[in-house]
């Protein structure tokens, strides 16, 4: 009986977290409240509080949930690709695909940066840590592409990660705010041009 109750509690916790992530994606982390979430789940506020001790705890849990999904959808599949340029391409292509699918809702990393860029606290620290983790993954992939001879040895990995981030932010801006068709293709074309400029002349 205790095991069954624990399993049911875990399922309820996961369902609340999924609903919270959907809400935060559309309304921002600051738009996420215990009251609204309780209404959406047809639960009492105390029932939601039983799973998350505070609104801040809930917001942090949402950020972690988003990061877990991000890794499962983009990072781990890309790791199955060969080291070097194939893996780097897979990371960027998966990232672009996810951002494109999130246009109707929103990217927690991008919206969170807008909400918390000048607001110190635990939520900002969690967001920053997650983004730095992702940037670190991209940086390692760039360095591996250099080590494999797919990119020139004189490349600054941090500069390349910066440029990739710029392409994705431009994609999000044009596709979500301006609603300009073809933004995904432009982002991919920009990446291809960047890779070409950073490749060794004899690289294939």
SS (H, E, C) 19-81: HHHHHHHHHCHHHCCHHHHHHHHCCCHHHHHCCCCCHHHHHHHHHHHHHHHHHHHHHHHHCCC
The answer on pLDDT for 1 being more than 70 is no
- Write down the pLDDT at residue 37: 87
pLDDT mean over 107-119: 88
Q: Residue 107, class by beta-carbon neighbours within 10 Å (0-12 exposed, 13-18 middle, 19+ buried)?
A: buried
The answer on pLDDT for 90 being more than 90 is yes
121 close to 147: Cβ distance less than 8 angstroms: no
Superfamily of domain 59-198: Tetracycline Repressor, domain 2 (1.10.357.10)
The answer on pLDDT for 164 being more than 90 is yes
Q: Looking at per-residue confidence, does 17 or 104 come out higher?
A: 17
The whole-model pTM stands at 0.87
Locate 16 and state its tokens. 């609340």
User: What gap in Å lies between CA 38 and CA 181, rounded to an integer?
Assistant: 37
């Amino acid at each position: 009986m205790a095991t069954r109750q624990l399993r049911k509690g875990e399922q309820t916790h996961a369902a609340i977290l999924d609903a919270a992530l959907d809400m935060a994606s559309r309304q921002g982390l600051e738009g996420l409240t215990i009251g609204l979430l309780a209404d959406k789940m047809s639960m009492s506020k105390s029932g939601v509080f039983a799973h998350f001790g505070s609104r801040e705890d809930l917001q942090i849990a949402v950020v972690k949930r988003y990061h877990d999904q991000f890794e499962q959808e983009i990072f781990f599949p890309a790791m199955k690709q060969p080291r070097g340029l194939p893996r780097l391409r897979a990371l960027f292509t998966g990232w672009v695909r996810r951002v494109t699918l999130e246009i109707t809702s929103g990217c927690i990393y991008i919206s969170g940066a807008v909400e918390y860029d000048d607001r110190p606290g635990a939520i900002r620290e969690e967001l920053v840590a997650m983004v730095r983790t992702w940037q670190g993954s991209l940086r390692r992939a760039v360095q591996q592409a250099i080590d494999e001879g797919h990119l020139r040895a004189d490349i600054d990995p941090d500069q390349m990660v910066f440029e990739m981030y710029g392409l994705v932010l431009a994609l999000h801006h044009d596709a979500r705010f301006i609603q300009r068709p073809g933004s995904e293709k432009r982002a991919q074309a920009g990446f291809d041009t960047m890779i070409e400029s950073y490749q060794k002349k004899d690289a294939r």
